[in-house]
Amino acid sequence: MLIGAHISAAGGVDKAPERAAKTGCEVFQFFSRSPQGGKAPELTPKIIKNFKSECKKYKIKETYIHAPYFINLASTNNRIRYGSISVLRQEMERGSLLGCKYMMAHMGSARDVGEKEAVKMVIDGIKKILDGYKGSCKFLVEISAGTGMIIGDDFKEIAQIIQGVKKPIGVCFDTCHAFASGYDLRTRAAVKKTFKEFDKSIGIGKLKLIHANDSKTDLGSHRDRHEHIGKGKIGLEGFWQILHEPKLKNVNILIETPKESEKSDVNNIKLLKKLRKQKSFK
């Protein structure tokens, strides 16, 4: 299990590997374009070469792309829906060029059409994204906190999406989002129960990446409020248990904790590495 963070790609994606290394990352995630919208910066052969050589130089084992926030595969506005499909395909292609292993995305909101129809639209959207795709960067559905009518806050719903797509896609498990959706992670028993349920509903082999974020809000709050590791409602014991859960030993972890200072990510990564080394939780 390798540990990393979401890293800024300001000034070009090839600037991110050095920043990741300085933060203590063994792996890292980034936006290849603005998360709020706009045209994606060109990935020239020079930028691609620099990105790969910098990752090698700083011994970064794997890299991942996070899709923009404006994605909604269940929108009744075709500009938004088909724009989302186009952007996600572009991001997978860009990830393949850069050698990124995964691209994770939120599916959007069921507000326009209701949950049942929204799931159908998401399945159809992902099928369109993957149609004819030959790249190496794989698609991950990120579990949501369930705020409002956000899609993907329930293991069974995610399983329905994966089964409906019928192509090899996986899951990014966000600890804050899962906790907010009602999946307890605070103790050994809770972690065992949650991932047993994940395995039964989805299949543990589909779990490809973990976002490690503590939660400012209570279990089942359906509010997406990230907190520093050990400072929120999940707590240190929960993260120790996740780091030492045998089912998760080959799943890498990334933090998306608050960036209040230049040392925030450094400190959270150091803490996770310390917990990883710890033989037992005291």
**CATH code of 227's domain:** 3.20.20.150
Q: How confident is the model at residue 182 (pLDDT cuts 50, 70, 90)?
A: very high
Of the candidates 189, 81, 187, 177, the one whose C-alpha atom is nearest the C-alpha of residue 129 is 81
Q: Considering Cα of 19, then 276, then 179, then 106, what sign does the dihedral take?
A: positive
- The residue assigned the tokens 């248990």 is 241
231-257 pLDDT, tens digit per residue, is 999 999 999 999 999 999 999 999 999
Given a cut of 90, whether residue 208 has pLDDT beyond it is yes
Given a cut of 80, whether residue 148 has pLDDT beyond it is no
Given a cut of 90, whether residue 185 has pLDDT beyond it is yes
Q: What size, in residues, is the chain?
A: 282
Number of separate domains in the chain: 1
pTM equals 0.95
Q: How confident is the model at residue 76 (pLDDT cuts 50, 70, 90)?
A: very high
Of the candidates 187, 185, 197, 181, the one whose C-alpha atom is nearest the C-alpha of residue 146 is 181
Candidate from 125-129, 206-210, 277-281 with smallest mean pLDDT: 277-281
Q: Report residue 221: phi and psi, to 5°.
A: -70, -25
Tell me the average pLDDT across 197-217: 97
Q: Which domain holds residue 63?
A: 3-277
Radius of gyration of the chain (CA): 18
User: Considering the chain, what percentage of its residues have pLDDT values greater than 70?
Assistant: 100
40-64 pLDDT, tens digit per residue, is 999 999 999 999 999 999 999 999 9
- What b/e readout covers 113-144, taking b as 16+ CB neighbours within 10 angstroms? beeeebbebbbbbbebbbeeeebebbbbbbbb
| Residue 282, in any domain of the structure | no
Instruction: Please state, in angstroms and rounded to a whole number, the distance separating the CA atoms of residues 7 and 131.
Output: 30
| Residue 63, in any domain of the structure | yes
Question: What is residue 260's predicted lDDT score, i.e. its pLDDT?
Answer: 87
Instruction: Please state, in angstroms and rounded to a whole number, the distance separating the CA atoms of residues 20 and 77.
Output: 37
Q: How confident is the model at residue 146 (pLDDT cuts 50, 70, 90)?
A: confident
| Residue 188, in any domain of the structure | yes
Given a cut of 80, whether residue 282 has pLDDT beyond it is no
Instruction: Please state, in angstroms and rounded to a whole number, the distance separating the CA atoms of residues 60 and 82.
Output: 34
Given a cut of 80, whether residue 274 has pLDDT beyond it is yes
| Residue 115, in any domain of the structure | yes
Of the candidates 235, 251, 236, the one whose C-alpha atom is nearest the C-alpha of residue 198 is 251
Of the candidates 38, 24, 151, the one whose C-alpha atom is nearest the C-alpha of residue 87 is 38
Candidate from 86-90, 107-111, 274-278 with smallest mean pLDDT: 107-111
Q: Which residue has the higher pLDDT, 154 or 262?
A: 154
Question: What is residue 142's predicted lDDT score, i.e. its pLDDT?
Answer: 96
Q: How confident is the model at residue 261 (pLDDT cuts 50, 70, 90)?
A: confident
- Residue 67 near residue 95 (C-beta atoms within 8 A): no
Given a cut of 80, whether residue 121 has pLDDT beyond it is yes
